Amino acid sequence: MTAEDDGRPPGNRFDDIADAADRAFRLLPAAPQDTQPPAGTAPRRPAHRVTTDPDTVERDLIKLVLTLVELLRQLMERQALQRVEAGDLTDEQEERLGATLMILHSRMVELCEQYDLTMQDLNLDLGPLGTLLPPAE
């Protein structure tokens, strides 16, 4: 179906993309036998289903991108701390790295505020694996 077919003016690609994403990510509910735990084990939480809404697809995409950026930021921060502790960096490099990581963190907070998200919203629940990001210290 094209934009012309459903009465929308041609050229509104965002609506077309939102509709395509909604169709692509629409998941069927799990069958009851899929959520029943095997005999003798504790019941587990039902799997979270991806729900998409054409009205929120931009915010959801931003949330996913920011989640990935935050994961990479935290990994870079840990790597930097390991290098500092190992003495691999000069004092100037340590200062520059610290300032860069602080700026990146502050920019992440600004972007979250811009899209009405919190840093906790970026911590995806991976079901039995736990959360994507470690708890805030």
Q: How many CB atoms neighbour CB 112 within 10 A? A: 19
Task: Give the pLDDT band (50/70/90) at residue 3.
Answer: very low
Mean pLDDT for 59-72 is 87
pTM higher than 0.95: no
Mean pLDDT for 46-75 is 78
- Decide if pLDDT at 95 tops 70: yes
- Decide if pLDDT at 92 tops 90: yes
- Decide if pLDDT at 44 tops 60: no
- What pLDDT, in 10s, does the model give residues 4-41? 455 555 556 667 666 665 655 555 444 455 455 556 66
Dist CA 104 CA 115 (whole Å): 17
Judge contact between 66 and 112, C-beta under 8 A. yes
